[in-house]
Structure 1
Amino acid sequence: MAKKEVHRTKWVNIRLTPDEFKVISDRFQKSMFRKISEYTREVLLEKKIQVVYRDQSLDDILEELIQLRKELNYAGINFNQAVKKLNSVSEMPEAHLWQSMLTVSRDQLEPAIKEIKERIHLYSDIWSQRSSAEKA
């Protein structure tokens, strides 16, 4: 069933002290809402608010996985740039040097990629075990 589109045309403006705003903002951050206007509307209308209880260790794992993925993408981009460069200068005498450098780069990248994949797999196993335990 599609959600009915609501056109909101009325405004409610309030002034808050910095401390009051911090309290509301902190509560908003713990909620499932994406916009503070949605959150405050639900509070004002006395509707039920869903609060997210986050596991800091899982957040840390996810943050590291995101960083590892970025690093892997950067390595892939750099490797692709080297390949493009090699292909564009294949007739030049320096092409042999580029091929050697590319081989060295590949030899350095492959173990790093393997370790990243192993760490991602390890973290996903840890996350899966915690998720299964919480459901039980």
Structure 2
Amino acid sequence: MEEGNENRSKWIKVRLKPSEEEQLNKSFKKSTFQNLSEFGRAMILGKPVTVIHRDKSMDEMLEELALLRRELNAIGNNLNQAVRNINSAHGFPDTRLWMNLLTIINGKLEPSISEIKERMNKYSDLWSQKLKVERA
């Protein structure tokens, strides 16, 4: 008979100390299993158990990178708004001076901002790949 067609009708009762139960629950919560029964069967039958391990230092780095990305986007948005305002103020005497100044600032900031974004994207890609490998 195929394993998929068999019903699970047998019960196994196990007694645990409170500390053992706590350890079992911690291990179960770190695993990819949806319920404790599946986790227990895999452990008892010697099937592979995938455990999710998260490096706290990498979590903090990822959070900081996300904050940096948001800040860079805000800087870019503010710069674009300033350029739009200057462009809409044609006819005022200082407009050309401000436009030239903003063009220079934008020219110097844009490559740096793009480079930082690229690096942040690489870090996040590395982090995602690391998570995928750990889950597999």
What's the TM-score, normalizing by structure 2?
0.54
Alpha-carbon distance in 2 for matches of 1:57, 1:125: 16
Q: Are 1:79 and 1:105, in contact at CA under 8 Å, matched by a contact in 2?
A: no
Which residue does the alignment assign to 1:125? 125
Quote the Cα distance in structure 1 between the aligned partners of 2:66 and 2:122: 14
Aligned to 2:24: none
CA distance in 2, matches of 1:108, 1:127: 30
Query: What amino acid is aligned across from residue 108 of structure 2 in structure 1?
Result: Q
* Deviation for aligned residue 1:103: 0.7
- Asked which structure has the greater CA Rg, the reply is 2
2:83/2:102 contact within 8 Å kept: yes
The residue that corresponds to 2:135 in the other structure is 135
Unaligned runs of 5+ in 1: 1-30, 32-47
Counterpart code for 2:115: E
Once the 2 structures are TM-superposed, how far is the Cα of residue 132 of structure 1 from its aligned partner? Answer: 2.4
Structure with the bigger RCO (C-alpha within 8 Å, sep 6+) is 2
RMSD (Å), alpha carbons? 2.5
Deviation at 1:131, TM superposition (A): 1.3
State the match for 1:13 in structure 2: none
User: What is the CA–CA distance in structure 2 between the aligned matches of 1:54 and 1:131, rounded to whole Å?
Assistant: 8
Deviation at 1:85, TM superposition (A): 2.5
2:62 counterpart SS class:
helix
Gaps of 5+ in 2: 1-28, 30-35, 37-51
Q: Could you tell me whether the CA contact under 8 Å between 1:75 and 1:109 is conserved in 2? A: no
Q: Answer whether contact 2:86 2:98 (CA < 8 A) is retained.
A: yes
